[in-house]
Amino acid sequence: MNKKRLNRISEEIKRVVSQLIQREIKDPRINPLTSITKVEVTNDLSYANIYISVMGNEEDKENTLIGLKSAKGFIRREIGNKIDLRHAPEPVFHLDESIEQSLYISKLIDEVNKKDKEKRGDNNDW
């Protein structure tokens, strides 16, 4: 299938599912600080791999994933209602921890820079 069309469908699914999480799904297991980072649709439009990011501890992340998996039928039906496709893709949720990893790496870089400045401040040999 056309790559451009797949990207448009992916972005539309991302928009629809984001609205569903924020406004319509009332499951208490789903953390309110849940965001969708990426959606990838398979070439045959049978599956939509939805990557989510959850701010919170590991328990919040797991509960959110469980809540979204239990709402999978509702989400698929709403995707089918709001997007004009012949068959609504099956949503498959994945936890995306890239934001947490980038924050961790940024923190490590800041620590190294701080230690480096302290070393240079102590040694005036350069």
Tens of pLDDT along 14-32?
999 999 999 999 999 999 9
Determine what percent of the chain is predicted with pLDDT higher than 90: 73
Q: What's the confidence (pLDDT) of residue 37?
A: 93
Q: At what angle do helices 72-82 and 3-19 cross, to 10 degrees?
A: 120
Q: Say whether both 102 and 91 belong to one domain.
A: no
Q: Say whether both 17 and 73 belong to one domain.
A: yes
Phi, psi of 98 (to 5 degrees): -65, -35
Q: Say whether both 107 and 88 belong to one domain.
A: no
Tens of pLDDT along 36-89?
999 999 999 999 999 999 988 899 999 999 999 999 999 999 999 999 888 999
Q: Say whether both 28 and 74 belong to one domain.
A: yes
Q: Say whether both 16 and 56 belong to one domain.
A: yes
Task: For residue 85, give the CATH number of its domain.
Answer: 3.30.300.20
Range of the domain at 114: 98-126
Rounded to 5 degrees, what angle do the CA atoms 96, 99, 102 make? 130
Q: Say whether both 39 and 59 belong to one domain.
A: yes
- Measured in whole angstroms, the distance separating CA 53 from the mean position of its chain's CA atoms is 4
Q: What's the confidence (pLDDT) of residue 9?
A: 95
Give the count of domains, the chain.
2
More confident residue, 66 or 99: 66
Rounded to 5 degrees, what angle do the CA atoms 106, 33, 85 make? 110
- Measured in whole angstroms, the distance separating CA 117 from the mean position of its chain's CA atoms is 36
Q: Say whether both 12 and 73 belong to one domain.
A: yes
Cα distance from N-terminal residue to C-terminal residue, the chain: 60
Q: Say whether both 81 and 122 belong to one domain.
A: no
Q: Say whether both 90 and 40 belong to one domain.
A: yes
Handedness of CA 64, 7, 3, 53 (dihedral sign): negative
Cα–Cα dist 92/7, whole Å: 17
> In 3-state terms, what secondary structure has residue 120?
helix
